[in-house]
Amino acid sequence: MQKISLDAQAREQLERAASTSSGRSATTVYGGHEHTLRQTVLALTAGTSLAEHESPGEATLLVLQGRVRLTSGETTWEGRSGDLIVIPPARHALQAIDDAAVLLTVAKPG
């Protein structure tokens, strides 16, 4: 059994994001390309975004810290600490409103 502190991971990734020119940092905390399920802690500094991209399969975002905005087409969702956002199966983008850390959970299609 393995135990991971998401609070500690969020803090660490936010520190790393703040020290990079991209304003982003991420680490996979469970799974990976060889697994069906993958969970990644992703940190973005305020104003930083992930450009529009394809949906990787079934996916959710759990906001660990800060505030984010997920946009897909004309629809926008805002999330803050503790919110779970279901990522639509369509092109979407993510923007950090404040410094933010999220847990991205993806289940790749079999």
Gyration radius of the chain's alpha carbons: 13
pLDDT tens across the length of the chain (110 residues): 789 999 999 999 999 999 999 999 999 999 977 888 999 999 999 999 999 888 778 999 999 999 999 999 999 999 999 999 999 989 999 999 999 999 999 998 76
d(CA 35, CA 93): 24
Strand partners, 26: 42
Note the CATH architecture for domain 6-107: Sandwich (2.60)
Contacts of 9 (CB under 8 A, 6+ apart): 27, 29, 41, 101
Rounded to 5 degrees, what angle do the CA atoms 3, 101, 8 make?
35
- C-alpha distances (whole Å) from 76 to each of 17, 72, 79, 80 are 24, 6, 10, 14
- Residues 96 and 48 sit within 8 Å (Cβ to Cβ): yes
